[in-house]
Chain A
Amino acid sequence: MNKPVTTRGAIVAAILAIGFSVAAQAQRGTPPRPPAAPAAPAKSGYSGPRTPDRKPDLNGIWQVMNTAHWNLEAHSATEGVPAGFSVVEGGSIPYQPQALAKRNENFKDRLTADPIRKCYMPGVPRSTYMPFPFEITQTPKHIGIAYEFAHATRTIFLDGTPHMEDLDFWMGDGRGRWEGDTLVIDTVSLGGETWFDQAGNFHSDALKVTERLTPTDANHIDYEVTIEDPKVFTRPWKMHMIVYRRIEKDLELLDYECTEHVYEKLFQQKTGKP
């Protein structure tokens, strides 16, 4: 189990690193001292507020600030698309050869073939890094996530209940658990009709998504996603990004009612009115 490194653990580790291994054992009971040098960005040591059940308090509005929505991999800018770094561990997605050809075809057709241009729910994990905010509501048994884009939602069950069988959902069937201060969400039953981004990166109905949300302080979540899909990829792969709390006062989610825009467009076509 990934037990979190506690503050004391980090200090102990730092002391070990500077060569007092024996002494460190003896110092376990002494008050913690500040580490001598800045530690590497720790995945734990969460210092932010907590809920009454002592979990990191993720309630609030969050948003990713990167270009993963346009392309998970590194890319230069094109019209309407900002340039961006890869969020994929190792840089490239490990496609099987045929799947890579399919991705490249998707890329060519992306302006019409991307499922979100039909206003379908973006799926998981794409909903997280759409250029829209989302809101987390956290309770001991359920975590509700409401997304501004197409008012998609997820209810993550933390009650230990198993995944449902024989049903697919656009936003999947997510079951979560806390591993220390990390919220781990396993999502399956995502179907095969959503994409990962606007660049045609895709998956099959065998997709399994494991999200690890590790809050590092009150306003940042380290977001790591493991993608498993043996029909499309040669091996499991990871994407990694930071989720930022939107700290503007009185912020609330607004609407991107995508389906309204479909009908506005249709009715304009039918009536000829602009």
Chain B
Amino acid sequence: MITRLIGLAAIVMVVPSLAAAQTGAAAPQTGVPAPAPAAGRGAPPPANYPPYTRPVSTYVPPRTPDGQPDISGLYLAIPLPRNIETPSVPMAARGPNRANGEFSYSLNERPKLPEGAIVRPAGVDPADGKIPLKPEAMQLRKEIIANQEKIERLDGRVLCLSPGIPRSTVPAPVVGYQIFQKPGYVVIFYEQSHLYRTIPLDGRAPLDPKIQKAMGVSRGHWEGNVLVVEVTNFTNNLENNWVIGAVSATPGIPAESLATGHGIPHSDVYRVTERYTPIDANTIHYEAVINDEKVFTQPWTLAWYGFARAPKDYVPIEYACFEGNAKNLLLMTNTDISGIRVNVP
């Protein structure tokens, strides 16, 4: 029975975090200039990235039988060109770095950015590219990153929990998406951990806040050819449900540098506005505006070219994360979950 173990990816993600936590107080690593003193919020972006503007697309997709812009089909993630956040050192001075967009894929074929796309970190607003954490959220983050040997502090994705939004669109550890459209709905199947979302387009009311979902509750509408989705009602029963997490923490970067998205659980008021902009017949640009007044000092935005149409012969493969995870967790944290049984109806 195939169970694509998340093991390798998990170790890649965890070990650098440990290293980061352990070397955080040490002198700056050789070859890497010390980060400049933190600039205030709203400081101008590094000179090598122009300010983010939403892509304006002139592409008009064909229409589905019920008149939606037709973006259906199989897609692959386009690799993120940089970390989630702006690197803490200017690009020109940056040494070679395995996390510099070069994370591993389950596929040999890596989609390319569309012509003219700006290569930049995914964190595009605020202008300094850093996640605007409140001090108490930063404190919790440090505590989580410093305790990565404890299972209760591990990344939810390593535990095979559903990573929520926008994390399910961050292209790791697997990269396939299937967008379906049916009258009144857009449905997205993620190859990662067989996640899915059904997005109603009929303007229905949000659900009772007492109903929470790991992938949130989605309400969508088309603005011209752009699919806009409001996502609310996220699960927050476990602190392992992180808002984001880089594909890997950059070795040697301390928690304070904000060079990764690790260790940020969201609160009960967390909500996300997504925009899916078709750029051409094969490319969709993705933007997510993140709101959580209990965790962040202001809304912040991730944006990147998220989806490239898959090759014609591409077949999505089941990624059964949890089914093989007992051994993985035993290996990483010496925690045996194999004996745990849950009640099901």
Residues of A within 8 A of B (CB): 51-52, 59, 111-112, 116-121, 131-132, 135, 137-139, 142, 144, 146, 149, 151-153, 155, 157, 161, 164, 167-171, 191-193, 205, 250, 252-267, 269-271
- Tell which of A119, A131, A132, A252 touches B322, judged by Cβ atoms closer than 8 Å: A119
Q: A137-B187, A167-B2, A193-B1 are in contact. List 18 more A-B contacts (CB 8 A).
A: A59-B183, A117-B343, A139-B180, A142-B178, A144-B178, A146-B187, A151-B194, A151-B214, A155-B178, A171-B194, A191-B1, A253-B198, A254-B213, A255-B215, A260-B214, A260-B237, A262-B342, A266-B337
In angstroms, Cα B178 to Cα A157, docked, is 12
In the complex, residue of chain B having the shortest beta-carbon distance to the beta carbon of A70: B345
In the complex, residue of chain A having the shortest beta-carbon distance to the beta carbon of B184: A59
- A117 near B341: Cβ-Cβ < 8 Å: yes
Instruction: Return chain A residues, CB-CB under 8 Å to B207.
Output: 252
- B159 near A164: Cβ-Cβ < 8 Å: no
- Tell which of B3, B214, B316 touches A257, judged by Cβ atoms closer than 8 Å: B214
- A254 near B337: Cβ-Cβ < 8 Å: no
In angstroms, Cα B315 to Cα A108, docked, is 40
- A258 near B342: Cβ-Cβ < 8 Å: yes
In the complex, residue of chain B having the shortest beta-carbon distance to the beta carbon of A269: B340
CB distance from B334 to the nearest CB of A (A): 12
In angstroms, Cα B314 to Cα A269, docked, is 43
Instruction: Return chain B residues, CB-CB under 8 Å to A258.
Output: 342, 344
- A120 near B323: Cβ-Cβ < 8 Å: yes
Instruction: Return chain B residues, CB-CB under 8 Å to A262.
Output: 322, 337, 340, 342
- B195 near A151: Cβ-Cβ < 8 Å: yes
CB distance from A208 to the nearest CB of B (A): 16
- A260 near B189: Cβ-Cβ < 8 Å: no
- B214 near A255: Cβ-Cβ < 8 Å: yes
Instruction: Return chain B residues, CB-CB under 8 Å to A116.
Output: 344
Chain A-chain B contacts (Cβ-Cβ < 8 Å), number: 140
In the complex, residue of chain A having the shortest beta-carbon distance to the beta carbon of B194: A153
For this complex, 30 residue pairs linking A to B, each with C-beta atoms less than 8 Å apart, are: A52-B65, A111-B341, A117-B341, A117-B342, A118-B340, A120-B323, A121-B320, A132-B345, A137-B182, A139-B180, A146-B187, A146-B196, A149-B344, A151-B214, A153-B189, A155-B316, A161-B315, A168-B2, A170-B3, A170-B320, A252-B207, A254-B211, A255-B214, A257-B214, A257-B235, A259-B159, A264-B237, A267-B238, A269-B340, A270-B152
In the complex, residue of chain A having the shortest beta-carbon distance to the beta carbon of B205: A250
Instruction: Return chain B residues, CB-CB under 8 Å to A151.
Output: 162, 193-196, 214-215
In angstroms, Cα B197 to Cα A151, docked, is 10
Given contacts A146-B196, A151-B196, A257-B162, contact A263 B341 (CB under 8 A): no
For A164, A254, A259, A266, the residue with the greatest tally of chain B CB atoms inside 10 Å of its CB is A259
- B345 near A131: Cβ-Cβ < 8 Å: yes
Instruction: Return chain B residues, CB-CB under 8 Å to A146.
Output: 187, 189, 196, 198
Given contacts A52-B65, A119-B322, contact A255 B235 (CB under 8 A): yes
CB distance from A163 to the nearest CB of B (A): 11
In angstroms, Cα B65 to Cα A138, docked, is 13
- B189 near A144: Cβ-Cβ < 8 Å: yes
Instruction: Return chain A residues, CB-CB under 8 Å to B345.
Output: 131-132
